[in-house]
């Protein structure tokens, strides 16, 4: 059976072209703003050489104070993205990277298994972008998280994995991701504003920090009721879900 394809929404061609023109203008404005900021930053660095140490200290302090809470694989956060009923006794937590080929395989495996699991378990996705090897993964997480602000996280999640081979090698995937947002009928202006928001960025970073604390060293990392699966194969996932469901006395 073929893996389920992400749902798409028909968009009037004229509206799409108009939105793309708006995107182009917004991108130009963002580039101009970025250039001005870079120039201002360079100038500021020249006149503030002797103040760099206290400024750096303040920056570190600000970062530490603004780190949000992290959650273990046995906890459910209000900010978590959950597929299925959270009341089901088996919790499957996946830490994944949208550009990771193994994560795409795991996602396909989970999609095929879900009809057999959905009456026993709920699935939680947490971001774990490995930016050292995947140049577009951070931006992919931003788009997925921003889409969540419009109630379309899982649609964007499925889209990103289904099209991974198209955007992974792009030097700049922003336009490609924007096209997915248009097909999902998302508000592009709002999406871009959310992508730049502290809340969206913090959510991804906090997921990563929680994963690090839980012992995640690579992706995908699959936990079932807190037990990390060394090899999250189809058969192993089924076995552990059945064991945990039976143990819960459900």
Looking at the structure, tell me whether residues 54 and 96 fall in a common domain: no
pLDDT of amino acid 14? 56
pLDDT band at 142 (very low <50, low <70, confident <90, very high): very high
Looking at the structure, tell me whether residues 234 and 118 fall in a common domain: yes
Comparison of pLDDT for 41 and 193, the residue scoring more: 193
Looking at the structure, tell me whether residues 61 and 85 fall in a common domain: no
Q: Which domain holds residue 189?
A: 81-247
Comparison of pLDDT for 249 and 120, the residue scoring more: 120
Looking at the structure, tell me whether residues 147 and 206 fall in a common domain: yes
Q: Is pTM beyond 0.85 here?
A: no
Mean pLDDT computed over every residue of the chain: 84
Q: With respect to residue 178, please indicate whether it lies within any of the assigned structural domains.
A: yes
pLDDT band at 249 (very low <50, low <70, confident <90, very high): confident
Looking at the structure, tell me whether residues 157 and 226 fall in a common domain: yes
Looking at the structure, tell me whether residues 196 and 239 fall in a common domain: yes
Q: With respect to residue 8, please indicate whether it lies within any of the assigned structural domains.
A: no
Total structural domains in the chain? 2
The CATH code of the domain that includes 155 is: 3.40.30.10
Looking at the structure, tell me whether residues 151 and 182 fall in a common domain: yes
Check whether 234 has a pLDDT greater than 60.
yes
pLDDT in tens, 166-181: 999 999 999 999 999 9
Strands of 227-228's sheet in order across: 81-83, 121-127, 90-96, 221-224, 227-228
pLDDT in tens, 39-96: 555 554 544 444 444 543 443 333 444 578 899 999 999 999 999 999 999 999 999 9
Q: Name the residue among 103, 105, 113, 110 with its Cα closest to residue 137.
A: 103
User: What is the spatial distance between Cα 108 and Cα 149, in angstroms, rounded to a whole number?
Assistant: 24
Q: Is the dihedral of CA 150, 182, 4, 110 positive or negative?
A: negative
């Amino acid at each position: 059976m073929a893996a389920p394809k992400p749902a798409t929404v028909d968009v009037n061609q004229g509206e799409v072209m108009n939105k793309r023109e708006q995107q182009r203008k917004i991108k130009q404005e963002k580039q101009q703003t970025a250039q001005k900021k870079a120039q201002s930053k360079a100038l500021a660095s020249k006149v503030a050489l002797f103040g760099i140490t206290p400024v750096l200290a303040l920056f570190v302090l600000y970062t530490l104070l603004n780190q949000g809470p992290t959650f273990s694989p046995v906890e459910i956060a209000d900010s978590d993205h959950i597929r299925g009923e959270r009341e089901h006794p088996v919790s499957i937590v996946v830490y994944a990277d949208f550009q990771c080929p193994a994560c795409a395989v795991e996602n396909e495996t989970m999609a095929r298994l879900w009809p057999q699991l959905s009456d026993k378990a709920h699935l939680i996705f947490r971001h774990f972008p490995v930016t050292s090897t995947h140049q577009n993964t951070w931006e992919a997480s931003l788009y997925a998280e921003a889409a969540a602000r419009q109630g379309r996280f899982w649609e964007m999640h499925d889209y990103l994995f289904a099209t991974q081979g198209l955007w992974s090698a792009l030097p700049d995937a922003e336009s490609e991701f924007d096209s997915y947002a248009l097909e999902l009928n998302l508000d592009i202006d709002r999406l871009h504003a959310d992508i730049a928001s502290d809340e969206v960025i913090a959510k991804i970073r906090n997921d990563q920090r929680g994963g690090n604390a839980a012992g995640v060293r690579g992706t995908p990392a699959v936990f079932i009721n807190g037990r990390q699966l060394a090899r999250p194969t189809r058969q192993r996932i089924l076995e552990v879900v059945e064991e945990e469901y039976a143990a819960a006395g459900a």
